[in-house]
Chain A
């Protein structure tokens, strides 16, 4: 009953209601859309990292610190038994990391050389491309970003120089056998990938590795010696932090958007109370409890949110759907990793139920508050004044 009156009143106001609803709907849309972009970014980065790099987690040599290349020299050993067993069962892949220099076209470039088994299936990398018949040079795989930096293409040869386990510099020719397209710049920038066995013999580190990445369903076992277990959570923490760091900006924008929508509704409420003093007076004179009158007006205002939600679905639903299907072209070339984030060329926003519910809830609460605030005055009115249309706002 009250709902009916409320919606009739609200719609009766025509254009000015629709303008408010429209503004609220835009806010709705923007909040959902932008949050979904963040979620999409996070999900994408996470998914790509897990797919191409992290898999189920890793065991690190105790000396290994990926951020400090100085540690690579000492961060290698034969695998602990339990870890070795995983590798033998093909549930894990070992990687041998070292510093090296390459001399493409006479320039010198410091790189990180990683040896990885070409048969591995643990991480999504085209390591099978490292299998070549030619034994004369070192087969090397690089990413597109590295290829651009070093101006290298498939078939190009260059000198690689490295320090082996005996602390002797050694050098040999490497040939690019494959340039991989990867969304994960961490596998690309300043990296050269060579077959594990080759790396081990180059470095004189037979059967040794720096870290071991294991498949998703493998549970960390006992017997990993001094090697350190790094779970997925640890390996993605930087990425998490990166995205979280950006979210306060979005929050400020949400606040401004909501404030604008709220102001419109607030203003409309003030106006309708001003204009409908007589109505209020009549309702009260007829015996409607003040609280119910307040409730009626609050409900009227609150319905803005409902209408806005409906309008969002009708007006912006298709847009949200479109982006969810086709993604948003970001125009950013991830490959130089300058963003420090794995970013999809086409970003697919992720709309979670939680996101939509939270947004709806927050918007509704705010709309209710701004509807209630002016309505409170009704409670202070004297019916006689109201009847005569004497309403002070």
Chain B
């Protein structure tokens, strides 16, 4: 087993005063019964179940922020120039596996730092951690066949006080990425240093055909921090953003004359939506409960960095790339008008055919590409995007809310031409060839001694739960025996295919390629997975970030 290597380890901080309990302090008897330390405005229901009430904010007074694509930089501006092996000043890593075969042609620099952010005009600004200092992080627009290198600079404050740790590992969820650029939880690096990540932007299946299999295209990806043990707090404080990937089929142009181009709504009508729930102190500071192991729920619904925003739309079709950025809440979205929505992609991958839905559930880390057609409405009308799912603790959803929660509001304000189309056929699925399967593995998601375990084990950084031969396929059975918890399991690297859920065929929105598999209480899901093109270590973990940070994760490794 390779030992856990620390990357650019910082000096362990030592408190500067001696803190031995003095005799005088010992005698300072607390003559109190149920006295609780000063806790400000925290209403305490019981020791474990606490409701935190944020200050009031008016709904629908903040416009929805939508970003222009992040601009690349000239290679000459990166000094020293990135290379296959780590360059001077870069944190240690293994050589970029695909550097020679897929040399980067686009370069970016990402400055990870602390900043102030306004979540709502009724609140004081909040301290956040942001990629480029903004929340959400900037949106990358990438194309298949255009290899990218991102220099990630950790400029977070070294002496940070508060939840989160100023060490980072950027995971691009779920690009077909060589291990050393995956953002493995153990590949974190310190403030004051940087790492170059290489994204080949090639379809999986390079082992069979140059350029890979276009049926394996990914479209709506997100990047977020993955520092092991501290992921939840680091992501909660702002380290999340979108990475959109286009190809000739999903080209990003609704007027694309190329035969075969899908011409889905594009440009200003292609809108990523990052949903996260958060809580705020009266000072505006984000509140996060590090001691809630079930999963933290916020009482404010934040979309693209604003609490309950509004979005002015034209009477035409839009593509919304909905992402549940966690940490633990499940959403089920419906339009207040009762009109249907059209799902075209799940977990960032286009479906073989669009699916019309009245509502759509999105579990933590899942993505849903949804077409909403506002030509059904008149100018002046508004429609709410509502959450209809009830959830009262981090274990998972309880049922349907009697009164839906308004998450954001669409205001129909104008007419606009709509050359976009939603074709009956989107992206074909690659065939599942069970003859490729060389191994079946079962992962039991259990509960033991007050924590979640996978096959009875808590996460150990140096232990590999599966050793896998490159360019083979396996069937993984994920079984939840943990009791009342839902576990949205995320498997890094290749997209998988659900073969069965509880012995039955996968649900309509689960027929395509996925990377998040929600395993409800007592459920069992069988997944077909391939491990092609690259080697190295990866992880599977629960994407309820509190569960992940409480050791509900395994390492696995692809060997040559």
A binds B: no
**Footprint of B on A, CB under 8 Å?**
none
